[in-house]
Amino acid sequence: MPEGTAPDPTGEVSDTGRLHFIGTATTIITYGPFTLLTDPNFLHQGQRAYLGRGLVSRRLTEPALDASSLPVLDAVLLSHLHGDHWDRVARRQLDRSVPILTTPHAARRLQGWYGFRRATGLQTWEDYQLTKGDRVLRVTSMPGRHMLGPIRRLLPPVMGSLLEFGRQAGPFFEPDYRLYITGDTLMYDGLREITSRFGPADLAVLHLGGTTLPGGMVVTMDARQGADLLEALRPRRAVPVHYDDYPLFKSPLSDFRSEVQRRGLDQLVTWVDRGGSVALGPAEIRPASSPTSGEAVGGSAAPPPRLSPSD
């Protein structure tokens, strides 16, 4: 098991946190002493993202945070190496000493091409552990498929991530909160194994948008597939992301909202605007001020943390 040990926290740290939605699939996750960044996409509206094989897409939205205002990070989670998940701003401004947990394909390129020496490639079901005092964060690579069938080799491998936050008690680690990030996957039967191995997540972050390539190939979950995943994995609640930032995203959030309402799943979903946040914590101690299921959370809910810059 690859491991990273961060400095011990000072002072008392609560066993709760927040997920801040920055845009596309970019979030900042704080929980106890840990701070994580996911799929960094800090391009501004109108700038081009390079998606490989000559495909370019111009961003339609503004990120809710500039990369220069990032907090100090314990790790970056990267589902795959595409320009709407890892852009030239991230490449230039992120600290090259921070651990980046990603696919083996992406890790080789981040190390060899860009000098991110702590990029770590995780095979499916492999985990990486961060420790601060008796606090533990275990990140496990989850299955994902950007495309199905033999043609999936045309796109880079993708992974989801399961984040388990807890404490170390002797030789035992018992998580008290599980957060699942789908990554840019389609819904397929292999995802059902996640629940059989780990049980339902406390929160699932869903990469939606129905990303559609020229020729009509859909490579991320659309509204129907997102609802299928909710039915199959039954997280305690879910937050949709990755749905309106680029013209290739053809399945709008309104379609997903209609689909979960039609299936009676809307109470599982918390709607978070760019710049908004949602509280995280064990169900029995979740703060009363945290959003209830089905509630929309606006950009004024709680700003992303603004600590020491990471670069």
CATH number of 3-297: 3.60.15.10
CB 291 within 8 A of CB 298: no
Alpha-carbon gap, residue 161 to 207, rounded angstroms: 12
Helix (H, G, I), strand (E, B) or coil at 108: helix
Give 203-231 pLDDT, tens digit per residue: 999 999 999 988 888 999 999 999 999 99
CA nearest to 235, candidates 272, 191, 271, 268: 268
What counts of helices (H) and strands (E) characterise the chain?
5, 18
Model pTM? 0.88
Domains of the chain, by residue range, sit at 3-297
Alpha-carbon gap, residue 270 to 292, rounded angstroms: 7
How far does CA 145 lie from the centroid of its chain? 15
Alpha-carbon gap, residue 112 to 191, rounded angstroms: 31
Mean pLDDT along residues 124-138? 95
Give 22-58 pLDDT, tens digit per residue: 999 999 999 999 999 999 999 999 999 988 767 899 9
pLDDT score for 15? 72
Alpha-carbon gap, residue 29 to 279, rounded angstroms: 10
CA nearest to 194, candidates 179, 174, 209: 179
Q: What are the phi and psi torsion angles at 299 (to 5°)? A: -65, -15
Give 74-98 pLDDT, tens digit per residue: 999 999 999 999 999 999 999 999 9
CB 31 within 8 A of CB 280: yes
